[in-house]
């Protein structure tokens, strides 16, 4: 069974690290989880973000390395502070060379509440992004990262960040189709078009990034992993979980 190192925040309503664990399990993988922060939130709002002490994260990671075999992939979600960012960067540098890493740069919750401090964005682009295999921002996130890094535009940001980027397109359009673009070294490599689904969803970005990581852990190429991750996430949203909140959750264990 492939092992995935899942690094992200805890969301009591079912996104974040819970999405990572469930998605990994749905793909036949096991997720070892490092929780970067606790949050007080639901599908409507975020009231509090409590970062995990970086020394605790480093200790947890060291113990995992002592006990478990090598990770087949790593997925990174919410990074709330610079101190946590630096801890995560140090962890990545200790993984075996070639370990696939997927970064979902969570800047705001699906309710719109800010989750990442402003000073984290610039250093994320400069120091973390170059270490990852695939980054999966939506267009709103990409614009904020471009502004924080001094790139100014999404196009310039992509030109400065070599490697693979899946630019998600569901957040800024009401068109009947959702269009995602996969970039490689700043050049569009593939385009994916999906019918837009009704409703508002909570945790779909976490689910997609974790699905990509799981497929990479199972040996898929980046392009294949992205295509399979998009397919899985879309199917998880066709009949989503309605738990009574303002937004639906992906049905990660497909029927």
Burial of 53 (0-12, 13-18, 19+ CB in 10 A): exposed
pLDDT computed for residue 255 by the predictor: 79
Q: What is the DSSP string of 169-189?
A: -SSS--SSEEEEEEEETTEEE
Strand-strand pairing, 134-135 and 164-167 = parallel
Question: How many Cβ atoms are within 10 Å of 202's Cβ, its own excluded?
Answer: 28
Query: What average pLDDT does this structure show over 139-156?
Result: 92
Q: What is the pLDDT of residues 150-205, one digit of tens each?
A: 999 999 999 988 899 999 998 876 788 999 999 999 999 999 999 999 889 999 99
pLDDT at 115: 80
**What residue spans of 27-153 are helical by DSSP H?**
54-67, 82-94, 118-123, 139-149
pTM higher than 0.85: yes
Find, among 56, 105, 57, 45, the residue nearest to 79 by Cα.
105
Could you give the domains of the chain? Answer: 3-238 (3.40.1190.20)
pLDDT value of position 162:
87
Cα–Cα distance between 13 and 19 in angstroms, integer? Answer: 10
Going by pLDDT thresholds of 50, 70 and 90, the confidence category of residue 69 is: very high
Nearest to 209 by CA among 65, 103, 67, 98: 103
């Amino acid at each position: 069974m492939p092992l995935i190192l899942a690094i992200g925040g805890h969301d009591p309503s079912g996104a974040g690290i819970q999405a990572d664990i469930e998605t990994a399990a749905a793909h036949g993988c096991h997720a070892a989880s490092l929780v970067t922060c606790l949050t007080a939130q639901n599908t409507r709002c975020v009231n509090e973000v409590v970062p995990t002490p970086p020394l605790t994260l480093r200790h947890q990671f060291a113990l995992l390395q002592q006990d478990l075999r090598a990770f087949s992939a790593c997925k990174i979600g919410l990074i709330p502070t610079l101190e946590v960012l630096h801890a995560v960067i140090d962890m990545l540098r200790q993984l075996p060379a070639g370990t696939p890493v997927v970064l979902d740069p969570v800047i705001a919750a699906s309710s719109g509440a800010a989750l990442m401090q402003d000073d984290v964005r610039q250093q994320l682009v400069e120091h973390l992004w170059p270490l990852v295999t695939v980054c999966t921002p939506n267009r709103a996130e990409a614009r904020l990262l471009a502004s924080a890094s001094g790139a100014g535009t999404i196009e310039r940001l992509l030109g400065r960040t070599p490697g693979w980027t899946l630019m998600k397109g569901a957040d800024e359009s009401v068109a009947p189709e959702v269009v995602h673009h996969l970039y490689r070294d700043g050049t569009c490599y593939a385009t994916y078009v999906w019918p837009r689904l009704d409703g508002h969803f909570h945790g779909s970005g976490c689910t997609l990034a974790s699905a990509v990581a799981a497929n990479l852990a199972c040996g898929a190429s980046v392009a294949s992993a992205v295509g399979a991750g998009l397919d899985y996430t879309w199917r998880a949203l066709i009949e989503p979980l309605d738990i009574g909140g303002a937004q639906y959750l992906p049905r990660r264990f497909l029927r």
